[in-house]
């Protein structure tokens, strides 16, 4: 079985990025054949897909499965275009990962300049619920309210 280039990328050091992360995060020594077996499991539908990337350029997916030859559950990032395991993720997100995600979410929110006070929402007036019990059809009510609004404005 020929291995995709991603598996051979770390040939000078003896292991790929995914193999290094498996050792670092789970204490597993995965061989290139183990990574190829994981790819077969994913492509055969024997792994649980946790998340898929929506970007076409980097179509990747996060999978949960048992490491070959063990009962250890691992999370792997799979890239179908290369038919390869890109990395092995920790089973649980670390505190720093959650903090990074929170910072990114805060950056996406609209920020109020420091010299301005934040807007405080005023209490809304109670909704007019009389239309619910009104026997007239909705389009008639709408026409009457529009006419009334134009009279007041006019």
Q: pLDDT tens across 7-66, in order? A: 444 444 468 999 999 999 999 999 999 999 999 999 999 999 988 887 766 789 999 999
Mean pLDDT of the chain: 75
Q: How far is it, in rounded angstroms, from Cα 146 to Cα 124?
A: 22
Mean pLDDT throughout 125-145? 54
* CA 14 to mean position of chain CA atoms: 32
Q: How many CB atoms lie within 10 A of CB 10?
A: 15
Residue 87 contacts residue 17 (beta carbons within 8 Å) = yes
**Three-state secondary-structure class, residue 73:** strand
Domain boundaries, the chain: 5-92
Burial class (CB in 10 A: 0-12, 13-18, 19+), 35: buried
pLDDT score at 11: 44
* For residue 70, pLDDT beyond 80: yes
pLDDT score at 7: 47
* For residue 88, pLDDT beyond 60: yes
pLDDT score at 12: 44
């Amino acid at each position: 079985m020929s291995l995709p280039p991603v598996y051979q990328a770390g040939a000078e050091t003896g292991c790929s990025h995914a193999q290094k992360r498996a050792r670092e995060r789970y204490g597993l020594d995965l061989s290139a054949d183990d990574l190829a077996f994981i790819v077969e499991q994913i492509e055969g539908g024997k792994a649980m897909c946790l998340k898929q990337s929506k970007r076409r350029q980097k179509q990747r997916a996060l999978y949960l499965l048992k490491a070959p030859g063990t009962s250890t559950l691992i999370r792997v990032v799979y890239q179908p275009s290369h038919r390869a395991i890109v990395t092995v993720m920790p089973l649980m997100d670390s505190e720093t990962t959650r903090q990074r995600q929170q910072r990114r979410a805060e950056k996406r929110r609209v920020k109020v300049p420091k010299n301005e006070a934040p807007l405080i929402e005023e209490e809304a007036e109670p909704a007019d619920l009389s239309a619910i019990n009104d026997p007239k059809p909705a389009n008639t009510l709408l026409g009457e309210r529009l006419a009334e609004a134009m009279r007041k404005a006019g």
